[in-house]
Amino acid sequence: MFNKIKQIKDMRSQAKTMQAALAEVMVVGKAMSGKVMITVDGNQKVQGVKIDTELEREKIEKGVQEAFNDASKKLQSEMAAKMKDMGGLDALKDLM
């Protein structure tokens, strides 16, 4: 029984370590030749938005959508690489 409790504690600890490492990841999604940029962190929170003031409203709306989708793709790739470097889900499987 104590062994299971220790395993759960170890899993929590490793999950927190992974979460902290992923929080450090930052990606920038770009659209409209860089006139619209969105910065997203590993927790999938938008950290910044830059929009060229010369863009028309319709282009801004489309640009924000495209930039966010670009950031999302980059973030997924970065997070997968980061988790792989940390041992991925196999590291958690060893605790079971």
Q: Give 72-89 pLDDT, tens digit per residue.
A: 999 999 888 877 877 766
Yes or no: say if 38 and 64 are a contact pair by the CB < 8 Å rule: yes
Entry pTM:
0.69
Topology classification of domain 2-90: Ybab; Chain: A; (3.30.1310)
In one letter, which amino acid is 81? A
**Tokens at residue 45, please?**
């929170």
Residues of the chain with pLDDT under 70: 1, 88-96
CA angle (75 as vertex; 21, 61 as ends), nearest 5: 135
Domain assignments of the chain as residue spans, ordered by start: 2-90
